Amino acid sequence: MLSGIPSIVHQPAHIPPAPLRLTSHQSYRNTSSTSSSTSNSNNSSVHSVTPLTWDPIFSANSPNDLPDRTSSLLHSTPWALTASCIGITRTYRFKTFKAAWDFMSLVAAECQKQRHHPSWHNLYNEVSIEWTTHRPRGLSEKDVLMAEFCDRVAGEVGALPVQENSGNATDGTTNSSKGAAGECSGIRSGAAATTAGARGDRIV
């Protein structure tokens, strides 16, 4: 070392950690538990990060009782939360094509009254149906109202009990599409894949 010239000490550059990327509709919260970092010379505490559970995304200005009604519907019936968390879906099976068509005709008439329409698909004696709202975006009171109406009408027309169609791959009670590859695992999951791309009407 030359006299008068300070020595140069090489230290590794500090690279900040990459930012936490959240998936669609996902949020996180810090828990109260902490752990000491043995690699940190300052012995600072590191908060553990826990993902929140998934919940339905409701339309703006929804009534206060809508979350409870939705929870009751999803827990007590085959209706399931969609992967986007903004809709509900299920599949009905009937004894004949005519019964399935009668069901759709009755639902269509009520749709005209409510000015709210579903995305649905008919395959012989099966009807897959999804309710969601686009304006304002989210799960709305009309979606739950029409889901409840569908259940009543299906019973009147003669829909097969759930245990008789539990083996069907498109049945709303199955978990074949649980969370749509992990995107959403809400109050209840599992829905017919044939009802993707739902379309809702404006609520007035």
Domain ranges of the chain: 66-195
- Three-state DSSP class for residue 96: coil
Closest CA relative to residue 90, chosen from 152, 154, 173: 173
Q: Can you say how many angstroms the Cα of residue 92 is from the centroid of all Cα atoms in its chain?
A: 20
The tens-digit pLDDT sequence of the chain (204 residues) is: 556 665 655 555 555 444 333 333 333 233 333 333 444 444 444 444 434 456 899 989 899 999 999 999 999 999 999 999 999 999 999 999 999 999 999 999 999 999 999 999 999 999 999 999 999 999 999 999 999 999 999 999 999 998 654 444 344 433 333 333 345 544 443 333 333 333 444 443
The one-letter amino acid at 177: S
Nearest to 182, CA basis, from 20, 29, 88, 51: 51
Question: Homologous superfamily of 66-195 in CATH?
Answer: Transcriptional coactivator/pterin dehydratase (3.30.1360.20)
